Structure 1
Amino acid sequence: MHDGLLSQEEIDALLGNVNTTPSSPLSESDKDLLGEIGNISMGSASTALSTILGKMVNITTPKVSITSINRIKESFEVPIVSLEVLYTENLKGANLLLIKITDAAIIADIMMGGSGENVNRALSEIEISAVSEAMNQMIGSAATSLSTMLNFPVNISPPTARIWDDASKTLSDNVDPNEDMVEIAFRLTIEDLLDSQIMLLLSIETAKIIINKMTGQSNEEEIIQKEEFFVDETPISKIDNASQSKVIEQNMAVEEPQINIQKAKFSPLTHFSNQEKQNIDLILDVPLEISVVLGRAKKTIKEILEMGPGSLVELDKLTEEPVEILVNGKKVALGEVVVIDENFGVRINSIISNVDRVKSLQGK
């Protein structure tokens, strides 16, 4: 100490060498939760990619960390293929899917009918388009899976694909290169052709919304809605002194842990998001069995045992009533039997509504 002033060493000693390193925006438990969510979402993405390639695809072993685009430039091998989407409903922020150019070349070669072996590192325009479509299906499937887990619609913007072949170029026009982001790295395997790594980047804002929703944490708007909900259910004219004291006691215990009671929210059956439409496109060539039901009848075991050649079975349908047309055992239309050349056929007279068909297919 000189002239009553403390030296820098003395100040550091008094402060106990306080660590000034900024804390992580996410706790370890938050990272674990994001890893589990990412594992489930990318599981759907692997199914989509497997359908496209016709090969077994596994996307597993998520590793969550905090990074930035500038730090990725230093650690991730270039060139890479990047697909970026923005969340447009309920979630906010950007989502980027990164794949190494060598891995993208294998995927493109398989999509173009090749074996996926001895591929060129450089991608043609057609191959870039093919890989972009595959990545689009993957990220769309992941968004649909995330929507199911969060129990609200998750829609994304049209994807922006680019080849990032120079670390000096911009990877995203919507994200600050120095901004902290959540990096979820996955192991990607395609049978014995590929064993590599892909990367999913989320903005911190997006990650926190997901975490809050999954952990049941409410924002101020939800709290206000809950307060209004409880007030509206008790008519003011019927409140006596005893009930007032109960209300006061309940209000004093607001900060205590309570069971989270919310009104159930369901997506309308008449609306499908872009991701759901894209997922349906993947199964358009799946064969379905169509059958026609002329009618039905109930018989006892005795009557069944007494049947023989020439026996007649009366059905519950009149001659002019339409027959039921079933797809995989589910009624989708009504029609009438016709003769086409030497075969029987059916002319469709009416189609069951989309809502009723979806309910039928869901077993409702």
Structure 2
Amino acid sequence: MKTLKSIEDIWLSAMKTSVTTLSALVGRDISVSSIERRSIEKIGMEILGKSYIVVSSAIQDITRLFFLLEDKDALTIATLMMGEENPIAEFNDISLSAISEAFSQMISAMALSLSEVIGGKLQIEPPKIYQLDDNAREMIFNEEFTGFRYGLVIAGSNSNIYQIVEKVSEEKLTPKVSAEIATNSEGKKPEENKVLTVDDASNIQPVTFQPLTVSQTKEEKISNLELLKDVPIQISVELGRTRMLIKDLLALSSGSIIELDKLAGEPVDILVNGKFIARGEVVVIDENFGVRITEILSPEKRLEEEQ
């Protein structure tokens, strides 16, 4: 568990972690060049006359938080997330989904970093994105919040992201240590571990174990197997797999076709509780699909396939 000097240190550590996550996600160099604490009033003055979007979320009961991004910076993140060569010029459902996914990963990394400070797993609220209008200003720019300005270098260009967080005391972000005295069912404090003396040695007796026999008759083995016959298992058939970029995933719609890694007519994989155990061919039984098993893999071959 980390020990940090102040709230600024905590948010700086969390933000650096989240930016590292974003950098790995888009495959481009993104770094934090500066961090400054800002009053709500000063942030309001600095963004005056510019168009910003808001990404809002919350980290459990620790704090509500908002990220303010100038439109051009938000579109840069969307472009990187979608792997586009040409910059995206306007917001649409796909670009907003890409920005939401980026900040979802960033805030999750931030929550993980905070959990190292205060202990325990922290849940986040799914990000929401909207334009910074008068209603949003009224909700965000009040005395309940404080702010930070992060200087970021995104793909070689300088950008600023404002983070506005609900004011919390440093005690709320400080590890809490609680100690409880274990009690038995009668509410009494249990005895401490007793140290035996020489006088107690006369009461010590050796433990005698019965010999362990491992041999089983054929009938006993069959009987043991019978006990397992009612255990349910999940059988699934895998037609194929593929990998795609986030931009391709976001572009999917009704009618889209996904190309898999198997050729037409190739055997399908049969899995038992997620483990690959056989191959087969797809058949039609009345109005339902079925699978005719063509090969059952040996344990050695299953290991080779998994590797």
TM-score, normalising length: structure 1:
0.46
State the number of aligned residues.
203
> Is 1:187 aligned to residue 151 of structure 2?
yes
One-letter identity of the residue aligned with 2:8: G
Pick aligned residue for 1:201 from 157, 164, 175: 164
Q: Deviations over 1:134-191 (max 9, x none)?
A: 1221112111111122212211222221122x3x232475x5x422312121111123
Partner residue, 1:263: none
Give the direction of change, closer, same or farther, for the CA distance of 1:236–1:40 in structure 2 (3 Å limit).
Answer: closer
Partner residue, 2:281: none
Contact 1:95 1:203 in 2 (8 A): yes
CA-based RMSD of the aligned residues comes to 4.1
Partner residue, 1:87: 59
Contact 1:39 1:60 in 2 (8 A): no
One-letter identity of the residue aligned with 1:101: D
Contact 2:117 2:174 in 1 (8 A): no
> Is 1:36 aligned to residue 9 of structure 2?
yes
Pick aligned residue for 1:50 from 17, 23, 29: 23
Partner residue, 2:79: 109
Quick one: distance in 2 between partners of 1:51 and 1:140?
Answer: 14
Partner residue, 1:65: 38
Quick one: distance in 2 between partners of 1:178 and 1:196?
Answer: 25
Alignment of 1:1-364 (within 5 A): 33-67=6-40, 72-77=43-48, 78-88=50-60, 91-115=61-85, 120=89, 122-164=90-132, 166=133, 168-171=134-137, 177-192=141-156, 194-205=157-168, 208=169, 211-212=170-171, 215=174, 226=179, 229=181, 346-347=301-302
Partner residue, 1:245: none
Give the direction of change, closer, same or farther, for the CA distance of 1:116–1:198 in structure 2 (3 Å limit).
Answer: farther
Contact 2:148 2:164 in 1 (8 A): yes
Give the direction of change, closer, same or farther, for the CA distance of 1:129–1:171 in structure 2 (3 Å limit).
Answer: farther
Quick one: distance in 2 between partners of 1:116 and 1:182?
Answer: 36
- Greater helix content: 1
Partner residue, 1:268: none
Contact 1:43 1:60 in 2 (8 A): no
Quick one: distance in 1 between partners of 2:276 and 2:82?
Answer: 42
Q: Deviations over 1:43-83 (max 9, x none)?
A: 22112211222101112422123326xx6443325321211
Contact 1:39 1:61 in 2 (8 A): no
- Would you identify which runs of 4 or more consecutive aligned residues in structure 1 move more than 6 Å? 230-234
One-letter identity of the residue aligned with 1:34: I
Q: Give the gaps of 5 or more residues in structure 1.
A: 1-30, 239-281, 283-332, 352-364
Percent identity of the aligned residues? 21
Give the direction of change, closer, same or farther, for the CA distance of 1:345–1:234 in structure 2 (3 Å limit).
Answer: closer
